[in-house]
Amino acid sequence: MFNQNKPMRLLYWILIGILACLFLYLLTILFPFYRTFFSTFFKIFTPFIIAGIIAFLLHPVVEKLHQYNFPRWLAIIVIYLLFFGVLGYVGYKAFPAVIHQLRDLNENLPQFIDTYRKTIYNMYEKTSFLPETVHDRMDEFLHDLEAFIGDLLTDAVRQLTKILDVVIVIAVIPVLVFYMLKDFDLIKQTLWKLTPKKYRLEGKELVIEIDKSLGNYIRGQLLVCFFVSLTTYGILLFIDMKYPLLLAIIMGITNIIPYFGPIIGAIPAVVIAFTISINMAIYVIIAVFVVQIIEGNLLSPFIVGKSIKIHPILIILALLIGGEMGGIIGMIVAVPLLTVTKVFLSHTRAFKSVN
């Protein structure tokens, strides 16, 4: 009887999860107190979450070195220093350049908008046969776009410059990562003891499956995104495009989002390129197209593969929900959360059927 109802049970739990997320989202909108509570909670635990993710991604590399007769303490120190050394050097070199390019883009925004206004006016002359309401809509769209981009850039500059205000939080993350790597087995043993005995075997299998599917997916995506950023930066620099580092980072980060990510990441570059010249816009479009062909046909199939094994329809649904609830950040975390949910539901159904 249970086997016959498996699809309905799966659908039931998926709907429960979606409704729970929507309930929390509405709670933060209707009651500002809960928004403040969740915001404070998130700020406190953000360093632990980030450190946990980094330790989760680095631990397999530490284990690999340990298998090659490296002492565990030496493997941890080597990987730790290598990771944070490279990250610190890249941040030291890239962060000032990104801030400078953001400020320059913010200052040149009126010039870009003026270029687009001239383009719109040229379109007016060529589309004079259209109703006046169409032209009004075009004016309204341009005004809204100017306000949106201006607010977005101003907020981005403000948020990046405020990183100095949370330097203590940033400094805590490497310390947490070191202790999490050092005591990784102790943490696993503690979680094992906290788990009720009747769920321990199932819990162990669940964690192994999540590590296998989600861990491989995240590590692979980070490598692919690094390639996209590096390659895009080189191409934009070669064609003498403005703000190459900033645009390359945007394309790399948004590439984490399946299906929609490359389009979202390419929009700022194409829009800015159009303000320079038609030829520059064509070069940028070709560059994005070439990078995506290499990424989609060569890198992703080999590096990421089909590690999550989720139907594209469910992925698109998760992306739409994540985008509505959390914007770009929501879309980035949507697929990992969907992967964990899928593994959890699969193991829950299997565990119930056995019992």
Q: What is the pLDDT of residues 107-151, one digit of tens each?
A: 777 777 777 667 666 766 666 666 667 667 766 766 676 666 666
Please report the pLDDT score of residue 3 as a whole number: 46
**Are 295 and 227 contacting, i.e. CB atoms less than 8 angstroms apart?**
yes
This prediction has a pTM of 0.67
Q: Give how far Cα 116 sits from Cα of 87, 120, 274, 279, Å.
A: 38, 6, 9, 16
The domain segmentation of the chain, as residue ranges, is 1-30+216-355
Please report the pLDDT score of residue 142 as a whole number: 66
Q: Higher-confidence residue: 221 or 13?
A: 221
Summarize pLDDT for 142-170 with one digit per residue, the tens: 667 666 666 666 666 565 555 555 666 77
222 membership: H or E segment, kind and range: helix 216-238
Average pLDDT on 203-217 reads 74
If you count DSSP H runs as helices and E runs as strands, how many of each does the chain have, helices first?
A: 14, 0
**Could you tell me the pLDDT band of residue 6, with boundaries at 50, 70 and 90?**
very low
Torsion angles phi and psi, residue 306, rounded to 5: -110, 50
Q: Which structure tokens are listed for 46? A: 């953000």
Average pLDDT on 90-96 reads 80
